[in-house]
């Protein structure tokens, strides 16, 4: 499924960026280009033989300085399905533990002639820092509280797939409610940028202490009452409380938080009858989302998000390495 109304500039002008550091800075047509590129990989991944050899001979390094299940595995699977040699740097056993700086680590990866580096780091801005130093494309797999662009892209692809009969693939006029720890969430930031850029209306909902100070600059409508935020929503995206990023007490207790901001079956009834339930994972069942909602066969798209994640990462790796591979017209 492509976006029929849209035609892209020729060759590399369709996606003129060297790296993928954030959704901020991407034009709507560049976002749609990546979504459209991912469609072929959604198809391929549903076949028993899931191999394409276009990245054969390329070396991709995954350098994850923070824990990850879905993002790390899907980048690894994506690279391997495209034929690349994928190497995962094990941070716990790396020289980072011996005091090496991030820049020195980046220069080391660069000297090994990596063709793409995928980075997850706890500091906002760390990925841009590395992208400025190395010669190859850098893909942000989450930097601090800043951005997680491939998550936002896979979320957009999931929404487009699930609602294509209703919307024809357009995001215009869709109401997407994001609820949870918006303040500490790079997923929320990238999703707000991505969905508003594509024409959706984004509502965010959290206790006042978990709303970022710069939210006014983003085109999201702020709610503190979850019932009101859910009213008529087409998509409900729940986010975990990022306790590891909290310094101090942001919520009185998990029990009270669930009472006010947890997605229960009763609450979900306030959204549209066919509203999609999404969560980037990892979920804290019984806190931000109840199990009976997370596991709703027809409404929950949480495992579909994981499926779309592999396709999106294949698209991003393919598009960003076209220059290195000297694909015709891609200058």
The minimum distance between CB 223 and ligand NCD, in angstroms, equals 20
Strand partners, 147: 143
- If the CB atoms of residues 167 and 242 are measured against ligand NCD, the closer one turns out to be 242
Site for ligand NCD (CB under 6 A): which residue of 22, 79, 137, 142? 142
Site string (68-107) toward ligand NCD, x via CB under 6 A:
--xx------------------------------------
The minimum distance between CB 285 and ligand NCD, in angstroms, equals 13
Instruction: Name the 3-class secondary structure at 223.
Output: strand
285 binds ligand NCD (CB under 6 A): no
- If the CB atoms of residues 40 and 242 are measured against ligand NCD, the closer one turns out to be 242
Longest dimension (CA), the chain: 58
Strand partners, 19: none
**Given CA atoms 196, 21, 50, 88 in this order, what sign does their dihedral have?**
negative
CB 145 within 8 A of CB 124: yes
Site for ligand NCD (CB under 6 A): which residue of 280, 294, 310, 318? 280
The minimum distance between CB 309 and ligand NCD, in angstroms, equals 8
CB 63 within 8 A of CB 105: yes
- If the CB atoms of residues 58 and 238 are measured against ligand NCD, the closer one turns out to be 238
For ligand NCD (CB under 6 A), the number of binding residues is 11
Enter the tokens of residue 171: 């995001």
Rounded to the nearest 5°, which phi and psi values hold at 117?
Answer: -125, 130
- If the CB atoms of residues 121 and 148 are measured against ligand NCD, the closer one turns out to be 148
Enter the tokens of residue 64: 């994850």
**Given CA atoms 118, 13, 318, 315 in this order, what sign does their dihedral have?**
positive
- If the CB atoms of residues 79 and 142 are measured against ligand NCD, the closer one turns out to be 142
Site string (144-173) toward ligand NCD, x via CB under 6 A:
----x--x----------------------
Of 81, 76, 72, the closest CA to residue 60 belongs to 76
Taking CB under 6 A as the criterion, which residues in 174-233 touch ligand NCD?
186-187
- If the CB atoms of residues 66 and 85 are measured against ligand NCD, the closer one turns out to be 66
Strand partners, 176: 202, 235
Alpha-carbon distance of 175 to 195, in angstroms, equals: 10
The helix-helix angle for 302-320 and 149-162 (nearest 10°) equals 120
The minimum distance between CB 240 and ligand NCD, in angstroms, equals 4
- Binding interface with ligand NCD (CB under 6 A): 70-71, 142, 148, 151, 186-187, 240, 242, 280-281
């Amino acid at each position: 499924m492509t976006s029929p109304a849209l035609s892209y500039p020729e060759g590399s002008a369709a996606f003129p960026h060297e790296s993928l550091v954030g959704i901020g800075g991407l034009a709507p047509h560049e976002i749609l280009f990546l979504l459209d590129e991912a469609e072929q990989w959604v198809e391929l991944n549903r076949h028993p033989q899931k191999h394409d050899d276009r990245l054969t001979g390329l070396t991709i390094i995954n350098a994850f300085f923070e824990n990850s299940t879905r993002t790390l595995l899907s980048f690894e699977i994506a690279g391997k399905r495209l034929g690349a040699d994928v190497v995962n740097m094990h941070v716990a056993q790396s020289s980072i533990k011996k005091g090496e700086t991030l820049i020195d680590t980046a220069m080391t990866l660069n000297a090994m002639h990596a063709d793409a580096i995928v980075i997850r780091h706890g500091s906002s801005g760390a990925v841009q820092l590395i992208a400025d130093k190395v010669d190859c494309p850098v893909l942000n797999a989450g930097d601090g509280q800043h951005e997680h662009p491939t998550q936002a892209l896979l979320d957009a692809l999931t929404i487009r797939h699930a609602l294509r009969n209703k919307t024809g693939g357009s995001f215009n006029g869709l109401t997407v409610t994001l609820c949870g720890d918006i303040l500490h969430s790079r997923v929320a930031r990238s999703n707000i940028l991505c969905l508003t850029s594509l024409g959706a209306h984004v509502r965010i909902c959290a206790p006042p202490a978990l709303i970022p100070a710069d939210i006014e600059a983003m085109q999201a409508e702020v709610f503190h009452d979850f019932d009101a935020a859910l009213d008529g929503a087409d998509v409900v995206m729940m986010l975990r409380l990022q306790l590891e990023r909290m310094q101090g007490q942001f919520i009185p207790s998990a029990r009270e938080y669930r009472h006010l901001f947890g997605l229960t079956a009763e609450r979900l009834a306030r959204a549209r009858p066919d509203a999609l339930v999404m969560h980037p994972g990892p979920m804290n069942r019984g806190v931000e989302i109840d199990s009976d909602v997370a596991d709703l066969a027809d409404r929950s798209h949480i495992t579909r998000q994981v499926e779309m994640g592999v396709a999106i990462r294949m698209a991003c790796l393919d598009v960003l390495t076209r220059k290195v591979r000297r694909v015709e017209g891609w200058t």
